[in-house]
Structure 1
Amino acid sequence: METASNFGIILSRTIGWIYFFAWSISFYPQAILNWRRKRVHGLSIDFLWYNVFGFACYTIFNLAFFSSEQIRKEYRDRNNGKDNLVQINDVAFSLHALILSTITLVQTFIYKVYQSQQISTVAFSLMSILLFFSSSLLFGAIFGLCHWIDLLYYLSYVKLCFSFIKYVPQAYLNFKRRSTVGWSIYNILLDFTGGILSIFQLVLDAYLQDNWHGILGDYVKLGLGFLSISFDLLFMTQHYILYRNREDPDILDILPDENSESTLLIAPQSDKQLNRYV
């Protein structure tokens, strides 16, 4: 029985690091694609901002749950003495994801083609409101008006919210352009793999610890897994079935201006040059 338990622990850790690498590597194809194309047309700016904001919240959540004894105690007090299921690979993934998401966002300032390629008013307003409430809870925790774990749970809600809505602008942009050119499919395939393994590890850990409530206690990880899988299936459908034509619909030498208020910033590469990287 002990041998089976040890094997389960080793299997869980192995799965954890495999999904860590799959999810972590998934951030590189888009950044590499942007660098090789020297443009970010076809990539939703709102998606990138949501990504950075969300992973900042997720990183704080994982770091606190993994390393803070006070947070771990508050969690045990609310969950019949059970420990939370956040592991070191969760911390490593969220921190790495935050760094790579930030790098990709910075690329949009370097490879911007149109002045209109910027965060939307809706996205800016939403993040400002959520940041205001985060600050309010922070001051509440500092002055003892609420528990620190309440602030962390709020941040996890924010991450889940962004994990859902962040894909919507990109999915709509693909639909509007009838193309996935500029949006790397490789990050989707890797993300899909990571989502499957993440959920499997969470279920396995709950089984090994006989703590099925722990699945709901780490609902951020559970929700991230299911959301990733759902939207990855949508993007794979768009890329491989609905919009199989790899010609870029935004040929800038044919359409020199995106709209009446846009300003062209850099000269485009040829259509052939742009599409060979997709």
Structure 2
Amino acid sequence: MGYWDLPEGSDCVQKTWITTKLGTALGLVGSAYHMVALQPDSALEAVQRATNGTVTMAALGAIFGMTTCLSAQIRDAPDDPLNYFIGGCASGIFLGAKKKNRLGWFRPPGNTRRERKLSSPGMGRLGSAGLPAQLLLLVLLTNASDSSVCLSAPESVTLQENSAGSVTLASSSALNRSAVIHLNVTYSSKLNFSSIISLPDQLLLPAGSTSLTFNVMAHEVGQVTSYLLSNGTNLPSWSVRIRFMVIHSSVLSVLSQVIGWIYFVAWSVSFYPQAWENWRRKSVVGLNFDFLALNLTGFIAYSVFNIGLFWVPYVQEEFLKTNPNGINPVNSNDVFFSIHALLLCAVYVCQAVVYERGDQKVSWMAKLLLLIGWTFAFISLFLAVAKQITWLDYLYYFSYIKLAVTLVKYVPQAYMNYRRKSTEGWSIGNVLLDFTGGVLSILQMIVQSYNNDEWRLIFGDPTKFGLGLFSVLFDIIFITQHYCLYRTQHDYVAVPDQ
């Protein structure tokens, strides 16, 4: 998907991602040319120069893309060339701040003699002209994309049963002639889609107009997917779809979102009590190292899965082709939760290295499981590169690794508590918050399934469902161990005879 396939002022994240990729590519090419023309003295200097040039161009591309899109949104003028001028100015400000930064935050370390050599008159002119030329090339590359008119529509429309609503279609620029748009229904959760929602047979987008609004009427709970087809040759409408979802209650929909953010907060905060416990005791004795190693691997896999499905356009297109009537199961809170959890797991590992750990170490069984998991991941990677499996399948394999880790990661900690007849060193605050998050996660899926009359939602994301279910089961075991089986014993002090 090119830069101009998306209307200006819409989907700023996607447009910024495209310009960032272009900037990164230009930075890599420019850095390679620079190192060929002026060979570095060492491998370290080569890495520093390549990193500096690539990161700079990636940042310029990101700033240009985001500023241009936001300018089009804020000014409500998507076709105004001034948006590109504003984006270029913002990129220039960043570049000027980088070049003139007196504190040297952006300047890689190097010897003074080398810097004087690079700042010779001829080379100075070449360097000063290089970046503006790269910026110009960046703009030209984005303009070189397919400039046909784009038709955009909301990805999904949610209505309460027996209610009316309106849908707005927009084109990236005015049409030279009128276009007739047909709504081609490709999926219905019921035999007759008209029992779910009433849709117009066709729509007319007049010449010179850039938007069109039509009304729909919801009847019974269900889901309908419709693709937009047009007689206009300059409207690539085959890639535009609208998923209509008729639900029982808007209140339940809001409740589901509230539950989702509460369990997100509970699961995120659940990582802090253990880190605090380790810091307070200056010891990780009682925290099982098998659990640490497996948990770190699990959240690496979960982060890869979430980032790929949420941020990589190619994978999203594969998901749409494989599931033409489905909705991306990964939300923004899933992405930030997995990344946050991965960072906290890394903190645990650092604490295990620094603090007292006794004779604890990762067992051979955990090492064997990790070897199997990572071998599976690397073999799957080679298969994806060889195009024997799709990248979407590869990401799903990562989610299965996370699910498998969830099945086994709590077992070493539960066994260790049983063997020691104590839960000291294992934070009960972590367990209680994790239990809360797991219960709410399952509750959200139940609410969503009832509200959409679609119980497959519970099993549509097996990683999320399994994560919640098995977390709850093991949390019940840990709570039983802490409060019932191995309650903290009080130390008794001998009283001398009087």
Q: CA deviation at 1:69?
A: 3.4
User: Offset of 1:79 from its aligned partner?
Assistant: 3.7
C-alpha deviation, 1:5, in angstroms: 4.3
Moved more, 191-200 or 203-212: 203-212
Q: Distance in 1 between matches of 2:329 and 2:450?
A: 12
Map 1:29-178 onto structure 2 (within 5 A). 29-79=273-323, 81-114=325-358, 116-178=359-421
Matched residues, number: 249
Partner of 1:223: 466
Counterparts of 1:57 and 1:247 in 2: how far apart (Å)? 42
- The two structures have a TM-score, normalised by structure 1, of 0.83
The answer on whether the counterparts of 2:301 and 2:398 sit within 8 Å (CA) in structure 1 is: yes
Extract unaligned runs of 5+ from structure 2.
Answer: 1-159, 164-246, 494-498
Gap regions ≥5 residues in structure 1: 249-271, 273-278
Most deviating of 150-159 and 49-58:
150-159
Q: Which has the larger radius of gyration?
A: 2
Given residue 71 of structure 1, which amino acid in structure 2 is its aligned partner?
V
Conserved 8 A contact 1:46-1:120: yes
Tell me what 1:238 maps to. 481
In 2, Cα distance between the equivalents of 1:198 and 1:63?
Answer: 20
Structure-2-length-normalised TM-score: 0.47
Match of 2:145 in 1: none
Instruction: Work out the CA distance in 2 between the residues paired with 1:85 and 1:137.
Output: 22
Task: Identify the range of structure 1 (138-147 vs 38-47) with the bigger mean alpha-carbon deviation.
Answer: 138-147
Which of 69-78 and 48-57 deviates more?
A: 69-78
Cα separation, 1, equivalents of 2:317 and 2:453: 19
**Given the superposition, is the C-alpha separation of residues 68 and 217 from structure 1 closer, same or farther in structure 2, using an over 3 Å criterion?**
farther
Cα distance between partner residues in 2 of 1:151 and 1:126: 19
Q: Is the 8 A contact 2:248 2:452 kept in 1?
A: no
Whether the 8 Å CA contact 1:181–1:246 is kept in 2: the answer is no
Q: Aligned to 1:191, which of 411, 434, 447?
A: 434
In the alignment, residue 205 of structure 1 is paired with which amino acid? Q
- Which residue number corresponds to residue 267 of structure 2? 23
Inter-partner Cα distance in structure 2 for 1:246 and 1:52: 32
RMSD, aligned α-carbons? 2.2
Ranked by relative contact order (alpha carbons within 8 Å, sequence separation 6 or more), the top structure is 1
Secondary structure (helix, strand or coil) at the match of 2:387 reads coil
- 8 Å CA contact 2:248–2:451 kept in 1: the answer is no
Matched-pair identity in %: 48
